Structure 1
């Protein structure tokens, strides 16, 4: 080993703390950069692997008249399609009369394969497999019996529970969708032998394209290809629907025609005279013919994977993590890289005498520079490689393990080489780049100049000295500290940046937690003041629904609205699935929904529409602009924007009755009730929804509590991510503070040794340095508060979707915790510095280089 190389390793051994600090900062930066940026793709890839392995169908088709083998063959006319007919319906059953999605089981070799968690699949006619959620949430156990309601239409009502399973069609354990039976909310799914389903035909057609399974289910390419396949399927089923309707109608009309023929014969025998009895029979036959025509009319309902319960919500969550990962880790990494750059720069500057000696001994500039470049390369490579690998192996898998409590999936975490390449590039720029820059600058000087210490900066009067009443009250040590702060401006700026960056990261972490948790509170506490919406079958029977509501002990009041969905368009942009509310009584409407722009409350105008914030942002419009509204199955109309109201969950727009009439040339009819309830329990909500479905002319009832629970669940899945941010931000802040203090002490060892020789005690010498740290820490914390708020606002803006906008919320606990942590880190560093200064070799430090 060459002497110059030995010298490098000797430097590393002699200054292990500094070398380890450099490696640690790079390690932390790469860990969170690679780890968090891998999490979003890791979630999507894991779910994609899970649904691909389980052969989840790409398209689900429902028919009002069922499916047979001809329908299966019709679907398989589309190139690459594999079709499977399944018996399925919503029924009520169990000890609490819950709504169940019931499927017929044949084997587990086709599409939508179950993942058996315990027990076995049905092998006998009286056996049933339940959703794992039935075990976890409703207490069902193997060996128990499960009884369905009489109107379930099964060959037998009672079955023995022999297994519990997960299904790829229900990826989120918190949601199973909605139905038009029971209380309207599906609680879990179940499988019984298909022959036990008392249905004349299959009710669902599963269609899968094996060639599409190589594409990620959340990718644009997959969605584009599925849309094309769906269009092709619609084309072949258009003709099939007509044929199916004609066949079924012909079969249904046979007995009716036979009765008609007998009635005609009886009429002829009676001399062509219709008796009263014959007239009644004719009326029945006419009604039966109309009923047969309605019952045999084939209509299709199409679904893709994105329509399955919680499938799109999962992508929204992974997209939010990806959006956060595009900002937070980058900021984190930039702070780490900046501090590393400073550390390497100061390290090389400290070695001026050594560089001058090597240059005087005849070593070339290249050889000397290589020594420090190798030092920097070693630290950069170690930190980058270990941090990237450790980040990929830990963070995404830890977050996935948290998700598995709600979403059963097989972990599949990719190693994203582009992210590793970026992490490595910035790491080497911060280490090797700094070493190259400084050595190149230092090597321009002569050996004799390098072997002398750099002349200290001359002292200058600072602003505080001009405030004489204040300056006179300061002690000698305080005056020295303040002068040193402004004398070494680069040191001051870097320390403030480091502490402000760490504080900002902590504030952002706490703010992410608070903002996510407060989304539902803001929506259902400050904007929506109702607890349920009831969709009516017939607008004319509002009184019937209201009568059922008033029998409930939890009922307070209700307001009628004309609710419809549609799309809005302006400036070439479009927002789909907008919920429009037109209240019947504008005065009472304010008690149910508070419209506000943040500065003042808004009232519904006689003309125009009030839109929610997300519509305005997406379309790039505001008050006074014009947008096009197209109701579902309606014509487009242009309407002026009368105001923009805050909204955090869902996409809404509001119009008065007169504004609706002016825009659409018709009066809106009440088809939905907004209902205020008295703190209902889950059992009371389910009971009321069931009553409304059975007796209250309701198509369905939805509760804001369920929507709030969705946000809570999403918050729960993001909590581990935020917790990791806070933890690693704290570690980075500590390492940065320690490193900057270490540099400060190393640079001023001669100065501090002089103080010790002059008789200063160890604690006084320590305070001489730490006093500056305390001041800079306080300044950095204050600056960090502002930077953290701005960083949080930017991240939340990137993380918003059409359905959710996060409010910017940082509770005082977040500020207090961040401050306490930074003060604690300063205290720990002060204690370490005190121990180091006690062991200073004063003679060695004061020894002149001359």
Structure 2
């Protein structure tokens, strides 16, 4: 008995060799099925694990806290006291503008991490001094910096403003890598986008507060970030943080309030002291001015009196001079001195003469009288001389007095000028004193009011999911995971059907052998083992190869595609045992199950029945023959083809189903591509009609005048955007004043496609979030803003949208919820601008402190399109695999068809049919089956595409359920092409059929 069984085993093994093409086809089908399932199922966990390991290797944060007014050591100490918080680290950071080659870039400078978010040194060394900096590699590659270059910043947040590049680093916080620009975050300077990142020592920061605090959680490293266990760990700490959040906000508020108020009081005291000193100086100056004024007045009075005396003296001099001149003139005296000399000489001569004369003589009397007359004249002249001398002396005194008067008057004028200058200086000082007293007093009061009206600081707590890059990465992996749900099902379904036909043909070919074995006493199970061994070997081999490729090549290939978006190094394989087991078991059950069913069906017969040739199917009329007017017009070859189709309905049906499934898979792949390729244009061109978004703070008329006066801006629209949640989904509420929303957003009804207007009481929600939460028109919804304030709205319309969730309401509706409408967003419509012109416009606008950030719509389009293109590449891989399956199915079915009908084909050859006629006998059925299969596959592909899109679609995106005509043509064309290739190969197989051997009696 053992020998019999050994021979049976040997025979079973020989079967693989004898039916190797069939064995190979089963192997390839199981390979493709397992490869698709295991590959797609493993890719998502592998990619998530790769990112998770990368983040954990550099101790990336689990939670991040940011405050509207900074954080301090008190906050760090409070966080450290929370249970399960293992590490806490505060971080300083500042965004600055740098220039290189006449271009301007925004550089984020962060304090070098010590424990959390550690960095990888790629080149050079880490900073050892405050004047040193390390940067990311892109800054060197794209901007042109090199190690040793200096980066100069103009910001008082840094002690050393000139920093030398000493190394190149990579940070696990920044792993976005798009064609547009690495996603480094937003900022309030430059173009509104951070271009590059860098690190310096803590000692170089001139900040007394932290910009953010990072923390890690106990046991979080041991869990994958997207796992439920990780979420539970995070939620526990989040609850604890929520518990201390209010108290820490209050403490920070009190600290800032007290510090600010003390600073104001110190400044007020300093100001009052300076004002008092200035007031005292002014009073002293006023006293001096008063004294100087009195002195000047007295001097002026003395000068006036002196002037009067001088005038009187001058008058007397003038009168005396005139009188003297008149006397001299009347006495004919021209010169008193000469006259005196002449008179004195005459007196002396007459005296001498008189002394010689007789006193009694007449001459004596005459001379004596003359002498007397001369003496009188002498006395008069002496008197005149004395008067003249007196006048001369008075004139000298007058002239001296006049000189002194002029000198005194000049000195008085100088003193008066100095007094007037001092008086003006005093009056200016008094005016400045009063002005400054009012100005600084007002500023102090305003500062006090600002401190009193200062809002309480708000904590914003973020986890890894809140990071845009991380959430985008996870969304992409979830899309791939969704593909693993439906695609492999179709692969396995096709494999089951084709395996069923293949094994059925194999069993039918072995009917006589099976009957012989049964007659020799072999059990049904022993006989069945041949087919189980055959199918199991093929399945196991294909599954093993499929697992290897699916676990390694497919995930790595898809990861390589996504590396264009995400700069995550060192791909990690997880070798998901569950996916492997499910894939192999499914393949084994499907294919081996098909062989078991087929074998059992034959083993029900008795050995005598099996050892006789199977009775051929009896020919019978088909329903087309009833239409004689049509049937007679069909030629003989086509009649045979039609009869064969109806005679071998099962095989034809399997062929149709196989081609249908493969065509549906290919169309589904192309359909997914069509559905996602245009959503960026539909969102940012058709739905949104603006070119840029300006986020503002404390918007005023001056800001609007800056916008309206810019020559690059055609038009602008104001709105208020509020972010929050609706149920579990993030949503943006866009509030507008009036009907201006139609200028920036096309509101199209999801059902009627009618264009809507936002009227006074309307509340319009986008369709995707409405579908998620089954929201209908007339339903009430509750919106929770970022400050946990709740608003209730009644939905009036649902509109189409493709990316994100939005709620559109008018300002009047929001004000009814006790909300003040304050525009914080400006939507811009600009001219056609180049990328450089867009950057220039952003730089110009961000020079205004009230403009916080600018987002260019074109940048959003490119960023989203990059992500969708990666998904497209994954879909192309699936299309290629579906095409391979289609080829294998067609080849397998063609071989089965030929092997099943060798006697018919040999008969045709014996009857003299040409090769092309023999080909036609077989290929016509294949072509007709292909055409029917393609048609049904296109129909099935349409529904399959919708089903796959429903699972692949991201939570915040709406794919366009649309398949382009080209996709139908591509899917059909590939199936037809493969059919033609198989028919071409079949031609040579048919030529090799040995007519004699095939027609030998089975007896």
* TM-score, normalised via structure 1 length: 0.92
Q: Which residue does 1:784 correspond to in 2?
A: 937
2:777 to 602, 623, 639: 623
Shift of 1:576: 3.6
Q: Classify the secondary structure of the residue corresponding to 1:627.
A: strand
Shift of 1:246: 4.2
Q: Which residue does 1:571 correspond to in 2?
A: none
Shift of 1:645: 1.1
For residues 292-314 of structure 1, give each alpha carbon's deviation from its aligned partner in whole angstroms, at most 9, with x where no partner exists: 67889754332222222411111
Instruction: Output the CA distance in 2 between the equivalents of 1:463 and 1:540.
Output: 84
Shift of 1:454: 1.7
2:901 to 735, 738, 748: 748
Of residues 9-18 and 227-236 in structure 1, the stretch that sits farther from structure 2 once superposed is 227-236
Q: Are the equivalent residues in 2 in contact too, given 1:129–1:162 (CA < 8 A)?
A: yes
Q: Are the equivalent residues in 1 in contact too, given 2:62–2:216 (CA < 8 A)?
A: yes
1:584 to 737, 740, 759: 737
For residues 206-239 of structure 1, give each alpha carbon's deviation from its aligned partner in whole angstroms, at most 9, with x where no partner exists: 2112421111111232123213213323434544
Instruction: Output the CA distance in 1 between the equivalents of 2:220 and 2:650.
Output: 57
Q: Which residue does 1:348 correspond to in 2?
A: 507
Of residues 793-802 and 667-676 in structure 1, the stretch that sits farther from structure 2 once superposed is 667-676
Question: Closer, same or farther in 2 for the Cα pair 1:667/1:125, shift >3 Å?
Answer: closer
Instruction: Output the CA distance in 1 between the equivalents of 2:847 and 2:270.
Output: 40
Instruction: Output the CA distance in 1 between the equivalents of 2:270 and 2:159.
Output: 35
Work out the number of aligned pairs and report it: 838
Q: Are the equivalent residues in 2 in contact too, given 1:335–1:498 (CA < 8 A)?
A: yes
Question: Closer, same or farther in 2 for the Cα pair 1:723/1:163, shift >3 Å?
Answer: farther
Alignment of 1:5-20 (within 5 A): 5-20=9-24
Q: Which residue does 1:517 correspond to in 2?
A: 677
Q: Which residue does 1:647 correspond to in 2?
A: 801
2:750 to 593, 597, 603: 597
1:499 equivalent to 2:503? Answer no
Shift of 1:280: 5.6
Of residues 30-39 and 694-703 in structure 1, the stretch that sits farther from structure 2 once superposed is 694-703
Instruction: Output the CA distance in 1 between the equivalents of 2:818 and 2:658.
Output: 63
2:106 to 92, 99, 112: 99
Question: Closer, same or farther in 2 for the Cα pair 1:630/1:156, shift >3 Å?
Answer: closer
Instruction: Output the CA distance in 1 between the equivalents of 2:129 and 2:273.
Output: 52
Question: Closer, same or farther in 2 for the Cα pair 1:564/1:336, shift >3 Å?
Answer: same
Which one has a bigger Cα radius of gyration?
Answer: 2
Instruction: Output the CA distance in 1 between the equivalents of 2:244 and 2:810.
Output: 44
Of residues 834-843 and 276-285 in structure 1, the stretch that sits farther from structure 2 once superposed is 276-285
Q: Which residue does 1:733 correspond to in 2?
A: 886
Instruction: Output the CA distance in 1 between the equivalents of 2:70 and 2:784.
Output: 32
Of residues 772-781 and 179-188 in structure 1, the stretch that sits farther from structure 2 once superposed is 179-188
1:326 to 485, 504, 524: 485
Question: Closer, same or farther in 2 for the Cα pair 1:679/1:357, shift >3 Å?
Answer: farther
Question: Closer, same or farther in 2 for the Cα pair 1:458/1:205, shift >3 Å?
Answer: same
Q: Which residue does 1:795 correspond to in 2?
A: 948
Instruction: Output the CA distance in 1 between the equivalents of 2:746 and 2:738.
Output: 12
Q: Which residue does 2:291 correspond to in 1?
A: none
For residues 461-488 of structure 1, give each alpha carbon's deviation from its aligned partner in whole angstroms, at most 9, with x where no partner exists: 3343334343333221111111111211
* TM-score, normalised via structure 2 length: 0.78
For residues 611-661 of structure 1, give each alpha carbon's deviation from its aligned partner in whole angstroms, at most 9, with x where no partner exists: 111122012122333333455548645443322211100111223456556
Instruction: Output the CA distance in 2 between the equivalents of 1:187 and 1:262.
Output: 44
1:182 to 169, 187, 190: 190
Question: Closer, same or farther in 2 for the Cα pair 1:411/1:294, shift >3 Å?
Answer: farther
Question: Closer, same or farther in 2 for the Cα pair 1:401/1:117, shift >3 Å?
Answer: farther
Q: Classify the secondary structure of the residue corresponding to 1:161.
A: strand
2:91 to 86, 91, 94: 86
Q: Are the equivalent residues in 2 in contact too, given 1:31–1:387 (CA < 8 A)?
A: yes
Instruction: Output the CA distance in 2 between the equivalents of 1:815 and 1:45.
Output: 37
Q: Are the equivalent residues in 2 in contact too, given 1:93–1:146 (CA < 8 A)?
A: no
Q: Classify the secondary structure of the residue corresponding to 1:602.
A: coil
Q: Are the equivalent residues in 2 in contact too, given 1:595–1:645 (CA < 8 A)?
A: yes
Shift of 1:558: 1.9
1:610 equivalent to 2:764? Answer yes
1:212 to 189, 196, 220: 220
Q: Name stretches of at least 5 consecutive residues in structure 1 with no aligned partner.
A: 569-573
For residues 404-461 of structure 1, give each alpha carbon's deviation from its aligned partner in whole angstroms, at most 9, with x where no partner exists: 3332323122222222222222222223222222222212212121012222222333
Of residues 699-708 and 69-78 in structure 1, the stretch that sits farther from structure 2 once superposed is 69-78
Alignment of 1:140-159 (within 5 A): 140-143=144-147, 145=149, 147-151=151-155, 153-159=157-163
Q: Name stretches of at least 5 consecutive residues in structure 2 with no aligned partner.
A: 284-429
Of residues 650-659 and 481-490 in structure 1, the stretch that sits farther from structure 2 once superposed is 650-659
Q: Which residue does 2:564 correspond to in 1?
A: 405
Question: Closer, same or farther in 2 for the Cα pair 1:201/1:557, shift >3 Å?
Answer: closer
Q: Classify the secondary structure of the residue corresponding to 1:98.
A: strand
1:477 equivalent to 2:637? Answer yes
Of residues 809-818 and 760-769 in structure 1, the stretch that sits farther from structure 2 once superposed is 809-818
Q: Are the equivalent residues in 1 in contact too, given 2:694–2:851 (CA < 8 A)?
A: yes
Of residues 610-619 and 455-464 in structure 1, the stretch that sits farther from structure 2 once superposed is 455-464
Alignment of 1:688-703 (within 5 A): 688-695=841-848, 697-703=850-856
Instruction: Output the CA distance in 1 between the equivalents of 2:785 and 2:213.
Output: 30
Q: Which residue does 2:52 correspond to in 1?
A: 48
Of residues 122-131 and 495-504 in structure 1, the stretch that sits farther from structure 2 once superposed is 122-131
For residues 793-829 of structure 1, give each alpha carbon's deviation from its aligned partner in whole angstroms, at most 9, with x where no partner exists: 1111112233211112333332222222212211221
Question: Closer, same or farther in 2 for the Cα pair 1:180/1:720, shift >3 Å?
Answer: same
Instruction: Output the CA distance in 1 between the equivalents of 2:923 and 2:274.
Output: 114
Q: Which residue does 2:866 correspond to in 1?
A: 713
Instruction: Output the CA distance in 1 between the equivalents of 2:942 and 2:250.
Output: 61
Shift of 1:497: 0.8
Considering fraction of residues, name the structure with more helix. 2
Alignment of 1:391-540 (within 5 A): 391-409=550-568, 410-540=570-700
Of residues 426-435 and 497-506 in structure 1, the stretch that sits farther from structure 2 once superposed is 426-435
Q: Classify the secondary structure of the residue corresponding to 1:100.
A: strand
For residues 721-755 of structure 1, give each alpha carbon's deviation from its aligned partner in whole angstroms, at most 9, with x where no partner exists: 11210111111100000001111111111111111
Instruction: Output the CA distance in 2 between the equivalents of 1:152 and 1:429.
Output: 71
Shift of 1:10: 2.2
Question: Closer, same or farther in 2 for the Cα pair 1:464/1:41, shift >3 Å?
Answer: same
Instruction: Output the CA distance in 1 between the equivalents of 2:789 and 2:762.
Output: 17
Of residues 196-205 and 387-396 in structure 1, the stretch that sits farther from structure 2 once superposed is 196-205
Q: Are the equivalent residues in 2 in contact too, given 1:583–1:589 (CA < 8 A)?
A: no
For residues 692-721 of structure 1, give each alpha carbon's deviation from its aligned partner in whole angstroms, at most 9, with x where no partner exists: 222384232222222212221212322331
Instruction: Output the CA distance in 2 between the equivalents of 1:259 and 1:17.
Output: 95
Instruction: Output the CA distance in 2 between the equivalents of 1:294 and 1:197.
Output: 29
Q: Are the equivalent residues in 2 in contact too, given 1:548–1:696 (CA < 8 A)?
A: no
1:561 equivalent to 2:723? Answer no
Q: Are the equivalent residues in 1 in contact too, given 2:667–2:968 (CA < 8 A)?
A: yes
Instruction: Output the CA distance in 2 between the equivalents of 1:830 and 1:707.
Output: 49
Q: Classify the secondary structure of the residue corresponding to 1:387.
A: helix
Instruction: Output the CA distance in 2 between the equivalents of 1:59 and 1:474.
Output: 77
Q: Classify the secondary structure of the residue corresponding to 1:782.
A: helix
Q: Are the equivalent residues in 1 in contact too, given 2:153–2:162 (CA < 8 A)?
A: no
Instruction: Output the CA distance in 2 between the equivalents of 1:749 and 1:576.
Output: 64
Question: Closer, same or farther in 2 for the Cα pair 1:637/1:150, shift >3 Å?
Answer: closer
Of residues 366-375 and 727-736 in structure 1, the stretch that sits farther from structure 2 once superposed is 366-375
Instruction: Output the CA distance in 2 between the equivalents of 1:823 and 1:267.
Output: 97
Shift of 1:65: 5.5
For residues 748-773 of structure 1, give each alpha carbon's deviation from its aligned partner in whole angstroms, at most 9, with x where no partner exists: 11111111111112222122101110
Q: Which residue does 1:170 correspond to in 2?
A: 174
Q: Are the equivalent residues in 2 in contact too, given 1:171–1:309 (CA < 8 A)?
A: no
Alignment of 1:287-326 (within 5 A): 287-289=446-448, 299-326=458-485
Q: Which residue does 2:522 correspond to in 1?
A: 363
